[in-house]
Chains A and B, each alone.
Chain A
Amino acid sequence: MREREEDQRLARRELFRLAGLGTVAGAVAVAGATHEAQAVTEAGADGAGYRETDHVKTYYTLAKF
């Protein structure tokens, strides 16, 4: 199982390399870095958007994943 996961990881890495994703690390990383003007945020944070009780409860249950 562990081996299969590792194979899968290497296959993905190879696919991304062949697709041209690998050579653009520097500038795309800087340009794509997340910044404050995000439209979505962690629900647990104070004052964040949807705080319906059921949703929040689900979040607390799932926060441990």
Chain B
Amino acid sequence: MAAEDQESASRVGAASGQAERIAEEEKLRADCYGLLARLLRATPEAELLRTIAGIEGDDTPFGRALDELAKAAASASAEALDDEYLNLFVGVGSGELLPYASYYLTGFLNEKPLAKLRGDMAQLGIARADEVTEPEDHIASLCEIMAGLINGSFGAPADLAAQRSFFDKHLGQWAARFFQDLEEAKSAAFYVPVGRVGRLFMEIEAAAFGMLSDEGVRRPH
């Protein structure tokens, strides 16, 4: 394909991205996905911890979980966090949890769910960043993709039908289960409320997508 075609294609994507405006509540969803992605990709840095410590939830289960997370962030030490993260996630077989769609859906890493995800990512015009070696079906990547689909980081914002389709195929069947495992993990302390926030958020997302009429919604295949 010629370079000028390539350029014009990305211009079209960028232009339509600017034209769309996202409703406030939808942006909030993107932020929740973004927060979960940052916490699950790596241990939070001091600045992020300070920000999280300032979160105030309301008197709902989700709000209370956010309060717990804020409290945990206020008292977390960088060293303890690094140990905790290592014990929870690092090393196949030595980390307590394997936060990958393929593992949760098939019992093995790098199986069909990963292949399907790669196909869908290509269709959406999303690729793994160059320096990343981890499989794309890591929970943090999937949360990043959802955030990007909502707020339009990958060209135009995706409509709710497309968001729902991606969620149903790649998160809906396992992410809440993973977050619950995180809540209950032996090594988890700071990550207990992270797991709770994630689980409740996945439930909220599933309920909200479930409200959409099926008309025009692309069903997962």
Contact = CB atoms under 8 A, between A and B. Distances in A.
B203 to A, nearest CB: 8
The secondary structure that dominates the B interface is helix
Nearest to B151: A34
A15 B124 CA distance: 28
B156 interface: yes
A23 B155 contact: no
Interface residues of B, number: 74
Contact of B128 (A4, A16, A39): A39
Contacts of B56: 23-24, 27
Contacts of A9: 23
Interface residues of A, number: 54
B122 A55 contact: yes
A25 B148 contact: no
Interface string A29-47: 1111111011111111101
A19 B204 contact: yes
Nearest to A42: B154
Interface string A1-31: 0001000110111011111111111111111
B144 to A, nearest CB: 5
A55 to B, nearest CB: 4
A49 B127 contact: yes
A45 to B, nearest CB: 8
Contacts of A11: 211
B79 interface: no
B204 A28 contact: no
Given A28-B28, A40-B141, A47 B55 contact: no
A40 B28 contact: no
Interface of A: 4, 8-9, 11-13, 15-35, 37-45, 47-60, 62-65
Given A20-B63, A49-B130, 7 more contacts: A19-B204, A28-B28, A28-B35, A32-B35, A38-B129, A40-B145, A43-B127
Interface of B: 1, 5-6, 9-10, 12-13, 16, 23-25, 27-38, 41-42, 48, 51-52, 54-63, 66, 70, 118, 121-130, 132, 134, 136, 138, 140-141, 144-145, 147-148, 151, 153-156, 158, 200, 204, 207-208, 211-213
